[in-house]
Amino acid sequence: MPFWSRSKPPPEPEPLPPHRAKVVVIGAGQAGLSTAYYLKRLGIEPPDDLVVLDRGPGTGGAWQFRWEALRLGSAHRVNDLPGMQELGLSFETADRKRPAKDVVAEYYRLYEEHFELAVRRPVEVTRVFNRELDLVVATEGGQEYIADAVVNATGTWGAPFVPWYPGLNTFAGRIVHTSDYRQAEDFEGQDVVVVGGGTSAIGFLLELEHTAKSLTWVSRRPIDFLDEGELDIEARRQAVEQQDEAARAGRALPSIVSGTGVARTRRIQAGIERGVLDRREMFKAIEPDGVRFSDGSLQHADAIIFATGFRPELRHLSPLRLREKTGGVTVGNGAAYRDPRIFFAGYGPQASTIGANRAGRMIARQVVAQLSKF
């Protein structure tokens, strides 16, 4: 080929100019939107001074990825966002017949539009780091945001937790986590083991009751079913205190469910009476064709569903070296102890609907107080 006919490689794309902002909020789920709402009320305006980034393709936070059959109800409750009453909307009166993922996505979309939060999506944040004195938020698309403060509201959905058991890698069937579950029909005619002691595990069992060939429910702890049909106020308070104590000490966060128990709703009570919700102690090992219990018995399994929760999604913050040797990030009043420019919404005591909205107001005030120091 003559040298003059050789095609030239395409030119490298020019780097995007950095966007300077007072505050960057990472995540537009309940915690992120709540914080953005209060930041705007305190005078930090999107889209220039306040930038909200969300990696999801649509609105709804983690709810947009949940399974089709999941409905809103007492076992899967979503608190209203602050100011939602202005729109005439409430999850308390939302349609229980529609998939929860669709209801939450619709309400969040209307909320974002009404308050003009200008969420940018889909935007994947790859890392947050220091460049000399600048705090930089870098995205997969090559855009950088230089911020005075960052509110991390990424939640946990992107960091599913599957506990290790002997033989886990030898299992010949399907291993599914809550984040991978889509529909009961995927397990039709199969022997299914469900692992976990929370409402997701219970929801899977009730949904699979007439689809799977057999169901076996196991958990590390006995299930604390609460007779009053709703989470006990004292149990809620203690669970929040445990989360707060762990966050302040920089330890790995405990499970919310283990501290609050499970509400004995009519649907759950009926499942107990039918024998569907008959929990066994945890198996000791996994084998290619099932799970082995401590009494030596083997339960055949075509699939194991791990409804074992999530861990905080903090990988993009690793360049800042915020994590302690004890496994967590030390957080007090919403701010990281090692870097007071980094705030956490939906972490520790705010990690569920128990505390996310209230934390949004607190964190917004803390952010504004931090900005006043510049």
- Cα distances (Å, whole numbers) of residue 83 to 64, 78, 88: 21, 15, 10
- Say yes or no to pLDDT of 273 above 70: yes
CA angle, residues 79, 234, 198, in degrees to nearest 5: 60
Angle ∠(89,91,93) on CA atoms, nearest 5: 80
329 — pLDDT class (breaks 50, 70, 90): confident
pLDDT digits (tens, 9 = 90+) for 175-201: 999 999 999 999 999 999 999 998 899
Whether residue 47 is preceded by a cis peptide bond, meaning omega within 30 degrees of 0, is yes
Query: What does pTM read for this prediction?
Result: 0.81
Q: What is the pLDDT of residue 331?
A: 85
Edge-to-edge order in the sheet of strand 214-219:
174-177, 303-306, 191-195, 214-219, 279-281
Which of 65-74, 203-212, 358-367 comes out lowest in average pLDDT?
65-74
Provide, rounded to the nearest whole percent, the portion of the chain with pLDDT above 70: 83
Output 107 or 224, whichever has higher pLDDT. Answer: 107
Q: Which DSSP symbol is given to 123?
A: -
Tens digit of each residue's pLDDT (9 = 90 or more) over 152-177: 999 888 888 999 999 999 999 999 99
Which CATH number does 168-229+264-306 carry? 3.50.50.60
Inter-axis angle of helices 30-41 and 100-114, nearest 10? 10
| Nearest residue to 55 via CA among 141, 178, 176 | 141
Smallest CA-to-CA distance from 52 within 31, 81, 79, 83 is with 31
**Residue 336 has which token pair?**
């990281």
What is the per-residue pLDDT for 224?
84
With 50 as the cut, is the pLDDT of residue 229 above it? no
Interhelix angle 30-41/356-371, rounded to 10 degrees, is 50
Residue 351 pLDDT exceeds 60: no
Domain ranges within the chain, ordered by starting residue: 19-158+310-371, 168-229+264-306
- pLDDT value of residue 233: 46
Residue 84 exposed, middle or buried by CB count within 10 Å (0-12, 13-18, 19+): buried
**Residue scoring higher pLDDT (262 or 348):** 262
pLDDT value at position 316?
95
Q: For residue 89, what pLDDT is reported?
A: 95
Task: Provide the pLDDT confidence category of residue 354 given band limits of 50, 70 and 90.
Answer: very low
Q: Residue 15: what pLDDT?
A: 73
Residue pair 230/301 in contact (Cβ under 8 Å)? The answer is no
Helices (H) and strands (E) in the chain, counts: 7, 18
Q: How far apart are CA 224 and CA 105, in angstroms?
A: 32
User: What's the CATH class of domain 19-158+310-371?
Assistant: alpha beta
Q: Is residue 150 a contact partner of residue 26, using CB atoms and an 8 Å limit?
A: yes
